[in-house]
């Protein structure tokens, strides 16, 4: 059986590129870049909660890093470094090989160096901390939305939740729709290029990990504004368009979570720039609502007739029911 | 029951000091300091492996941060920031109150800001990433030991392991010896001031978390040198001096782990500076061996008669037997 040190050496150690010192000392050493500060974020994924027992380790390695890179994207930061703390029930080399492959493939795609970490025996748990760089004055914070701004969403929400609904037996997907939704759930692609491009354009941003309403609510709270969402304006994938259960569709679109798209606000004056960005990056960017001067923190959703909608779930809360 | 967001707000959110942006956004933002780079380290503590079920949450909060600060100390870095990822079986407010109190008390003592993290439901698991600052040319790396250097140890090793031996029923401690050893096990104090003072003096350093022989072995490997340890020179606490079981005593002293003292190498010319440091900081610093030009990576231990000793355990390996 490989030792803790063998595992680190075999699966997680690579030559440093940008870092001054990588895996193998008490600490890694990283230098700041001129004019930049570090954006730092940490996420923890637990077996049985964030991924199921027996989840494909390659996809899990991808997703564990992707959800962290999504936080950097939402800050407008360029990904640079990551540390990995990993608890495993046993030193399963086949699992480690595939997990590290999935993680490092995504790391390479986004220029991220794995600079350190910890491996230990325990119930399967993956905790990653990422560090990226951003000019401090251009960071996309949650607290910059202003009354009059427009609210935008990249891509479409709800597909990861629709995949979960399929896996839970609440709906039956097949063919291309199933493949699309499962890919959205298991191998989300963080919106890094969009986050970088929104520097100087977006007044606030957040990634959609807990559901559109809940995450837009964080912008509303931190910015001290009210936000109105137009349900009919929300972009829908083909899979969601085909969903016959209107209640489930609304739940997925508004409160699904695990989407890793960006919601952001921008001045109406910036609309042409946002629209040309969408074309440049080959992304769908959709105006889904507006920022108002109502009750700070309030998010209201209106249906196509202009009537307010009741939202079933406010988003995913790891200690909620 | 408090939500994930309530927990973060109630127990882990404080006004920022040095950080540009703390808890509550997609990322925290931290700026580098002139002439400094960031030292980064991550540790994961798992219930049933690193701490027992029912462990005092205040002490656990202390220890979880302390083991990370010890890595910064071993690098000669000044502690600055930490992120916390926490999995808990349930949102136990009494536990959270005491855990955060223990963690934040130590954070305050060492000027560390908690800038972000994640809380989720799952088997109890604590993963902390710390960031400190150090001038890159003065960082205490593991790879700088040179033949002719002397090997030093701060404080004394073995007491945490002796406490574990007591808890496992292998030995019976009482009174001051028990209190001392339990404190060493549960509330270790990271050698931050020593790490800072050793900048420019030590040629290499490491913290003793896996046992003296194993950790000194990491210096030997990374520096490509052989290290000779004099068993009789190892400092011993009163509790270890009183230990009648010579085999257990040797095991604790040489392979005990969880000590969070610093082992470091320095040129013989630096001896007066090291000795005056000990006086200034009120620490015991003991020469316990020397660096030679033998087989790279080899650590040899000699008893008082000069005979080589067999080492029972090479240190703690989380995937070993």
DSSP H or E run through B119: strand B113-121
Model confidence pLDDT, tens digit, residues A126-143 = 999 999 999 999 999 999
Query: Is any Cβ of chain A less than 8 angstroms from the Cβ of B289?
Result: no
Q: How many cross-chain Cβ pairs, A to B, lie less than 8 Å apart?
A: 241
How open is the CA angle B250-B251-B254, to the nearest 5 degrees? 75
Q: Is residue A114 part of a domain?
A: yes
Whether B19 and B75 share a structural domain: yes
Indicate whether A163 and A275 sit together in one domain. yes
Please answer yes or no on whether A319 and B1 come within 8 Å at the CB atom. Answer: yes
Measure CA B148 to chain center.
26
Could you tell me if B117 lies within 8 Å of chain A, comparing CB atoms? yes
B160 shares a domain with B266: yes
pLDDT category of residue A321 using cuts at 50, 70 and 90: very low
Whether residues A109 and A210 share a domain: the answer is no
Which token pair is B296?
Answer: 């790279």
Q: Which residues constitute the domain of residue B236?
A: 141-302
pLDDT at position A100 over 60: yes
Residue B293: name the closest of B223, B240, B191 by CA.
Answer: B223
**CATH no. for residue B42?**
3.30.1330.10
CB A255 within 8 A of CB A213: yes
Residues B152 and B285 in one domain: yes
A114 in contact with chain B, both atoms CB, cutoff 8 A: no
How high is the pLDDT of residue B1? 60
In a domain, A310, yes or no: no
Decide if B30 and A37 are in contact by the 8 Å CB cutoff. yes
Q: Is A306 helix (H, G, I), strand (E, B) or coil?
A: coil
The full DSSP string for A189-228 is ---HHHHHHTTTT-SEEEE-SS-HHHHHHHHHHHHT-EEE
The count of domains in chain A is: 2
Give a yes or no: residue A203 inside a domain: yes
Instruction: Please check whether residue B315 lies inside any domain of the structure.
Output: no
**Are A92 and A36 found together in one domain?**
yes
Q: How confident is the model at residue A4 (pLDDT cuts 50, 70, 90)?
A: confident
Judged by phi (left if over 0) then psi (alpha if -120 to 50, else beta), residue A257 lies in left
Asked if B222's CB is within 8 angstroms of A142's CB, the reply is no
pLDDT per residue of chain B (321 residues) written in tens, 0 to 9? 677 778 878 888 888 899 999 988 999 999 999 999 999 999 999 999 999 999 999 999 999 999 999 999 999 999 999 999 999 999 899 999 999 999 999 999 999 999 998 999 999 999 999 999 999 999 999 999 999 999 999 999 999 999 999 999 999 999 999 999 999 999 999 999 999 999 999 999 999 999 999 999 999 999 999 999 999 999 999 999 999 999 999 999 999 989 999 999 999 999 999 999 999 999 999 999 999 988 999 999 999 999 999 775 455 555 654
Check CB contact of A27 with chain B, cutoff 8 Å: yes
pLDDT at A2 (0 to 100): 73
pLDDT at A158: 97
pLDDT in tens, A22-61: 988 999 999 999 999 999 999 999 999 999 999 999 999 9
Ramachandran region, residue B31 (left: φ > 0; alpha: ψ -120 to 50; beta: rest): beta
Rounded to a whole number of angstroms, the CA Rg of chain B reads 20
Q: Which chain A residue has its CA at the smallest distance from B67's CA?
A: A26
**How deeply is A268 buried, as exposed, middle or buried, from its count of CB atoms within 10 A (0-12, 13-18, 19+)?**
exposed
Domain boundary among A100, A122, A137: A137
Q: Is residue A100 part of a domain?
A: yes
B203 contacts B141 by C-beta, under 8 angstroms: no
In a shared domain, residues A182 and A293: yes
**Contact (CB, 8 A) for A162 and A108:** no
Instruction: Take residue B308 and report the two structure tokens written for it.
Output: 């080589």
Query: What pLDDT is recorded for position B315?
Result: 57
- A320 — pLDDT class (breaks 50, 70, 90): low
Residue A188 lies in a domain: yes
Confidence of residue A80 (pLDDT cuts 50, 70, 90): very high
* CB atoms near residue B157 (< 10 Å): 31
B38 and B181 in a common domain:
no
Which candidate in B27, B34, B64 is best for mutational testing of the A interface (most A CBs within 10 A)?
A: B27
| Per-residue pLDDT tens over the stretch A277-302 | 999 999 999 999 999 988 999 999 99
A95-131 as b/e: b if 16+ CB within 10 A? bbebbbebbbebbeebebbbbbbbbbbbbbbbbbbbb
- The domain boundary, picked from A111, A137, A163, lies at A137
Q: Give per-residue pLDDT as tens, A140-162.
A: 999 999 999 999 999 999 999 99
Domain assignment present for A215: yes
Q: Which residues 189-228 in chain B show a CB within 8 A of chain A?
A: 205-207, 222
Would you say A124 and A88 are in contact if contact means Cβ atoms under 8 Å apart? yes
Chain B partners within 8 Å of A90 (Cβ): 319
Residue A150 shares a structural domain with residue A121 = no
Q: Look at residue A45 and give its three-state secondary structure.
A: strand
| CATH number (domain holding residue A240) | 3.90.650.10
Query: How far off is chain B from A242, nearest CA to CA, in Å?
Result: 33
Taking the C-alpha atoms of residue A101 and residue A126, their distance in angstroms, rounded to an integer, is 15
Strand, coil or helix: B299:
strand
Assess if residue A309 is contained within a domain: no
- Torsion angle of the four alpha carbons A156, A161, A162, A168, in this order, in degrees rounded to the nearest 10: 170
Please tell me whether residues B162 and B131 are part of one structural domain.
no
Q: Is the model's pLDDT at A305 over the cut of 60?
A: yes
**Which of B137, B159, B192 is the last residue before a domain boundary?**
B137
Contacts of A116 in chain B (CB under 8 A): 40-42
Task: Note the pLDDT of residue B5.
Answer: 74
Q: How many angstroms separate the most distant Cα atoms in chain A?
A: 64
A 236-265 residues with CB below 8 A of B? none
Q: Is the same domain home to A233 and A114?
A: no
Yes or no, beta carbons of B31 and A32 under 8 Å apart? yes
Residues B65 and B207 in one domain: no
């Amino acid at each position: 059986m490989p030792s803790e040190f063998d595992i680190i050496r075999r699966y997680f150690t690579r030559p440093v590129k940008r870092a001054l010192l990588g895996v193998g000392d008490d600490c890694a050493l990283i230098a700041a870049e001129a004019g930049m500060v570090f954006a730092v974020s940490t996420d923890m994924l637990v077996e049985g909660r964030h991924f199921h027992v027996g989840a494909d380790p390659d996809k899990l390695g991808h997703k564990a890093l992707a959800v962290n890179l999504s936080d950097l994207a939402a800050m407008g930061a360029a990904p640079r470094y990551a540390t990995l703390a990993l608890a495993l029930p046993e030193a399963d080399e086949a699992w480690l090989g595939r997990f590290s492959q999935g993680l490092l493939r995504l790391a390479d795609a986004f220029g991220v160096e794995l600079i350190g970490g910890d491996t230990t025996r325990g119930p399967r748990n993956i905790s990653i901390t990422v560090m990226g760089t951003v000019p401090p004055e251009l960071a996309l914070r949650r607290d910059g939305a202003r009354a009059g701004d427009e609210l935008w969403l990249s891509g479409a929400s709800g597909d990861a939740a629709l995949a979960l609904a399929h896996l839970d037996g609440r709906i039956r997907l097949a063919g291309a729709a199933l493949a699309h939704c499962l890919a959205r759930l298991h191998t989300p692609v963080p919106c890094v290029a969009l986050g970088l491009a929104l520097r100087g354009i977006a007044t606030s941003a957040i990634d959609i990990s807990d559901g559109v309403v809940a995450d837009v609510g964080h912008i509303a709270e931190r910015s001290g504004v009210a936000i109105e969402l137009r349900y009919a304006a929300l972009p829908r994938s083909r899979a969601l368009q085909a969903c016959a259960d209107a209640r489930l569709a609304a739940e997925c679109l508004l409160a699904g979570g695990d989407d890793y798209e960006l919601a952001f606000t921008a001045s109406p004056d910036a609309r042409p720039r946002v629209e040309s960005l969408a074309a440049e990056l080959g992304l769908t960017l959709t105006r889904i609502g507006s920022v108002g001067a109502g009750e700070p923190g309030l998010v209201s959703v209106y249906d196509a007739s202009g009537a307010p909608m009741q939202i079933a779930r406010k988003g995913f809360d790891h200690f909620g029911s």
